[in-house]
Every structure is written in structure tokens, then in C-alpha cells.
Amino acid sequence: ASMGRTVVELFYDVISPYSWLAFEVLCRYRHIWNIDLRFRPAFLGGIMQQTGNQPPALVPKRGEYLLKDVKRMAKYYQVPVRMAADDFKRIIGTKIPPSLMAMRFITAMDMTNPQYLEPLSREFWMRFWSQNEDISQPENILAVARQAGLSAELSQKALEMISSPAVKDRLKETTAEALKHGAFGMPAIVAHYDGKPHLFFGSDRLELLGSIIGE
């Protein structure tokens, strides 16, 4: 980290639309604020399981509100999140969480070519939350990687790493780290300031984050 820069970690999963909002806003703020932004791909399914949390849409009134809220925030932040009521089924109704393979792929890229982390993560959100497309199948993962500017060779290598213990362990470790900071959902933003970590949940606490780190 550069001298005096506040390290801000963003723990995220591309299944979370609020993580996309936080990601884009923090990407903008890192040019204005004195922060060193670090992307920490983690697994939301693991966090929910470990903390006994439930998807908000399981409460019907909350689900209704969530649709409106995401729409308003997407407009406010100019991020093309398009959310419909049946998106809840796309997420909750599957045996294997739809983002597990994507998050392993992103983790593999973080371990080999971290410079692609930002464009790759953005394209996964784009595909799932803007284009309403699948991100769990190998051919779709490769399409996302191509869109993010990765060579076929790099993508293939990362795809082969998905099932390796090294990648699985790394994703579990990052998820465990988020839990250690007190995360119970996503996005979990951790600012290391004044010698201690400060956890912020969600994409609507960024003014507070700024005020605590003196921005």
C-alpha cells in the first residue's frame, strides 16, 4: 500500500446485485479517496450457511422492496442492474448456487492474473444481472472471460484450475476471512483504519465509510 493509504477490502460474490453496486462505486471513489482498494472474491453461499442468514427475498414484503430498491440504486449509480421477481428463483431454486463456478474461476484468475479481476468480475455481473444469462456452465464462463479481454489460453487455464484443491481452498479462506471480520452477507466492505478493521455491510453505507476514514 502507498504511504498513508487506507486499505479497503471488498468481499463480494457476483450473485449479489448489491455487491455490483458497491464494486462500481468503490471503483470510482478510489480515484478520489486516498484508498487502496482490494477485491476479495468470496462465496456468499458459504457466508449465509455459516451465519444462518437467509436470502431477503424469502420474506415476500422484503422481496417486493428489494426489487424497487435495486432499481432505484441502479438508476442513481448508473449501473445497469436489471432485476425481475423471477430472478429470486434463478438464485434460490438451484441445487448448486449459480455463482460457485464463477467465483472459483474469478479466484483462479486472482491467483494467476489479478490484473483481470476487475474487468472479469464486472462482466460476470453484466451477464447475470444485466443480460439475464447463465454464468454456471463452462461455455458461459469462457464467454464472460472473452468479453473481459482474456485470451483463450488464460481462460482455459483458469477453467482447468476450478476443480483444483488450491482454488477451492483459496475461495474458502477468503470466505472465512470475511466471516472473521463479522460478515453475514454481501457486499462486506472492510476498511483497515486506525489499526483496526471496520466492517460495512451493503452498498448504502459508503458515506459512513468515507466519514470514518476521513474522506
Give the residue numbers marked as catalytic. Answer: 16
DSSP SS3 for 188: strand
* Among the listed residues 52, 84, 60, 58, the one whose alpha carbon sits nearest the alpha carbon of residue 71: 84
Interatomic CA distance for residues 122 and 125, integer angstroms: 5
Interatomic CA distance for residues 96 and 74, integer angstroms: 27
Handedness of CA 92, 93, 95, 98 (dihedral sign): negative
DSSP SS3 for 45: helix
12 to each of 57, 61, 102, 135, 151, how far by Cα in Å? 19, 25, 12, 16, 24
Interatomic CA distance for residues 203 and 189, integer angstroms: 9
